[in-house]
Amino acid sequence: MTWLDSIADKAVGRVLPARSEALAVLASGDDELLDVVAAAFRVRRHYFGRRVKLNYLVNIKSGLCPEDCFYCSQRAGSSAGVLKYTWLKADEVLASAEAGVAGGARRVCLVASGRGPTDRDIDRVCGTIASFKERNPDVEVCACLGLLTDGQAQRLRAAGTTAYNHNLNTSGGHYADICTTHEYADRVSTVTAAKAAGLSPCSGLIAGLGETDEDLVDVAFALRALSPDSVPVNFLMPFEGTPLAGRWELTPQRCLRILAMVRFVCPDAEVRLAGGREIHLRTLQPLALHIVNSIFLGDYLTSEGQPGSADLAMIADAGFTVEGAEHAAAAHAAPVPAADSAPLSLATPRPDLVHVRRRGAGTSLPANS
């Protein structure tokens, strides 16, 4: 039995790996990469088969945030040139969210910039969610509105909200290096409050923020301790106009190792391949489907993803099936945009791959779904 068989066996039995094993996944060499992916696939297949759940992001309030999260294009003082708008009206939210549903999404994620909602903001979002659920009773709604105060999670739950997202993002030890306006403990409290209110907890991380392997293992273990149902794994999109512009430290291979480590630590959670997959995994995206069981369809909050049709084609080509596909347009082999003709090198800056979103929510252009 190899060390990878051992870690996969533990994961199938929901046994937490040793820290040394999680670190070994991150430190493994390229010769072992496919073995790492295969071991993670055994775990993924055990809990989720070959299904891929599609989630769809709707940015219901964009930009102009008073917080200073260094990685975020919506932060205070950002000059990233992203779309800026206040709360979208309910019909605008519904139009975007339902475009995602039509593309195959089984969960829509309604996300607002800001430190956290006021009680009036909660009123507004609850009304929107209730309208959406009335029209789409089988589609899950995840809210992501920042830090919650007493009673807000309960009100969201009562309105029909399925889940609440609040990412830990990085380790407690690294947190002060990525944000100074709130603390790691604030984030833990909000995830805990959401869970206590009966909302499905969704909490994940961002890799590529200058963290060490130890930090990545710390945050993965901290997430395991919170027992989230979903764990989004983001890869930093280094927007020009933010403090982390120019920070390109991820390779496609490292992204796969990070995803595998998270799968071994949180084996039965929905591990969601999130922002940055196109620009960091690039042509290795389909390999990641062997580790994660969920992706975001189409665009992100402030940046464009690959066309939703290309996501569906990728899933079909890799031999996976879209969860709930019987409700959605069948995955089809739509033409994929021509690849960048410049040769790709590893961990080299690729600002040409970061495109500010100019369509969908908050614009008059159709959504990418």
**Could you give the residue numbers annotated as active site?**
65, 69, 72, 109, 142, 202, 272
235/368 Cα distance (integer angstroms): 21
Residues 110 and 143: beta-carbon distance below 8 Å: yes
CB of 167 to ligand SF4, least distance (A): 8
Provide the minimum distance between the beta carbon of 240 and ligand SF4 in the complex, in angstroms, as a whole number.
16
Counting contacts by CB under 6 A, is residue 203 touching ligand SF4?
A: no
Shortest Cβ 302–ligand SF4 spacing (Å): 9
| Whole-number Å distance between alpha carbons of 164 and 190 | 9
Q: Which of residues 272-331 bind ligand SF4 (CB under 6 A)?
A: none
Cα 210 to chain centroid, rounded:
19
Which of 83, 44, 78, 45 lies closest to 62 in space, CA to CA?
A: 83
Mask: binding to ligand SF4, 69-108, rule CB under 6 A, as x and -? x--x-xx---------------------------------
Comparing CA positions, the residue from 239, 236, 179, 183 lying closest to residue 210 is 236
Nearest distance in Å: CB 318, ligand SF4: 31
Among 55, 113, 162, 200, binds ligand SF4 (CB under 6 A): 113
Alpha-carbon dihedral sign for residues 276, 341, 318, 249: negative
Q: Does 65 bind ligand SF4 (CB under 6 A)?
A: yes
110 touches ligand SF4 (CB under 6 A)? no
- For the residues of 114-145, what is the DSSP string, one character each? SS---HHHHHHHHHHHHHHHHH-TTSEEEEE-
Which tokens is 118 given? 């006021």
Nearest CB to ligand SF4, comparing residues 20 and 181: 181
Instruction: Tell me which of 67, 140, 215, 278 binds ligand SF4, using CB under 6 A.
Output: 67
Q: Minimum Å distance from CB 194 to ligand SF4?
A: 16
User: Which residues in this chain contact ligand SF4 in the complex, by CB under 6 A?
Assistant: 65, 67, 69, 72, 74-75, 113, 115, 146
